Structure 1
Amino acid sequence: MKGRCKEEICEEPSVDDPDVISLLIKLPCGTRFNRRFNKHHSVKELHDYVYAQDEAPRRYQIFTSFPRSPISGCSTDEVCSSKTLPLLKEAGLNKNDTLFVQSVDDDSTEETSDCDSDR
């Protein structure tokens, strides 16, 4: 599944693109990634980029740093269950933001595998 996400990730936009946002993404294990996204793309692109990382948890929610709040539509559960997700610009992300990935406890692996098969 992670391999498929890696293949489907859109090309990183140029730093000169006026619609670009640069994000510093921090995983629970301490790994950090810098990545540019087009603000007119869905939060699913952000979610899938994180999911494709080897160190990423299987289920998670992504939060803004300040004020700390979840990004709407950008949890594993929301991406798997919703057909319409907000754009990155609608999620309130700015030119340069820091995001935190928080693992979601998974009591049922059946739930996650059902989600993976739909993606």
Structure 2
Amino acid sequence: MSNPHCRQTLEEEKERKSECLPPEPPADDPESVKIVFKLPNDTRVERRFLFALSHSQVIHDFLFSLKETPEKFQIVTNFPRRVLPCLPTEEQSNPPTLKEAGLSRSEVLFVQDLTDD
């Protein structure tokens, strides 16, 4: 059974992440990339980000802020299938930009639920 206090803290964290997201660039911005996210519950969410300036952590934070997104997840490209590095690690303190991560101007990314069953 989940702890109500933990749930409240998670909701607060989701709200904080949402408030810190950069504004979505306009559809005609030549520097934007359009990403469609396919969530584990088959929901599709679409958003634009700045291609060369946005770090992949922005994508993670955007997804984390959504109520439909699992608590623990990873973001996966379809072809070639690979996990998108979105969070800082010991080896890499800054996650790559969307451009450095090899994303194109229009992508479909899959959100995999890593929450323990």
TM-score by length of 2: 0.80
> Which of 101, 104, 108 is the equivalent residue of 1:98?
108
Q: Does 1:12 align with 2:7?
A: no
Q: Deviations over 1:28-71 (max 9, x none)?
A: 01111010000121101000000000010111110112222111
Q: Does 1:49 align with 2:62?
A: yes
Alignment partner of 1:89: what SS? Answer: coil
Match of 2:40 in 1: 28
Identity over aligned pairs, percent? 39
**Which residues of structure 1 form unaligned runs of 5+?**
108-119
Matched, 1:69 2:89: no
Partner AA of 1:64 in structure 2:
T
How many angstroms apart in 2 are the aligned matches of 1:9 and 1:37?
10
The structure richer in helix per residue is: 1
- 1:85 aligned partner, one-letter code: P
What is the CA RMSD across the aligned residues, in angstroms? 1.8
Larger radius of gyration: 2
Change (3 A) 1:79 1:51: farther
Secondary structure of the 1:36 match is strand
TM-score (norm 1): 0.79
Which SS does the other structure have where 1:98 is aligned?
A: strand
Structure 2 portions without partners, runs of 5+ = 1-12
Match of 1:114 in 2: none
